[in-house]
Amino acid sequence: MVVRAHRAFLAIFLLVLAPIGAVVLVSALLLFGVGPRLVFAPGRAVKSLIEMGGFHVPNAVGVVSTVIFFWVIIAAAGLVWERRK
């Protein structure tokens, strides 16, 4: 018997659980002593790329892009996990 995953579970994972996991991961890294420069490096890279284009962006852009970076990693790991099953 072949068991198929429901698309609703995938949507819940990608839209609810993975973003929460990304925020918790960033918070846990900061809580356990990883330096903010290292944690927010992906966001700082995005921010500097945007600023190289001549736009001045707030620090929130770096924070949000860091969370999106970790969300992509968690989502990719979840999709690989589902594909293996």
Q: What is the mean pLDDT of residues 54-62?
A: 95
How far the first Cα of the chain sits from its last, in Å, is 14
Do residues 74 and 21 make contact, with C-beta atoms less than 8 angstroms apart? yes
Counting residues of the chain whose pLDDT is more than 70, the rounded percentage is 93
b/e code 16-25 from CB counts within 10 Å (16+ = b): eebbebbeeb
Do residues 66 and 43 make contact, with C-beta atoms less than 8 angstroms apart? yes
pLDDT tens digits for 32-56?
999 999 999 999 999 999 999 999 9
- Residue from 31, 74, 66 nearest 45 by CA: 66
**Count of residues for the chain?**
85
Per-residue pLDDT for 4 more than 80?
A: no
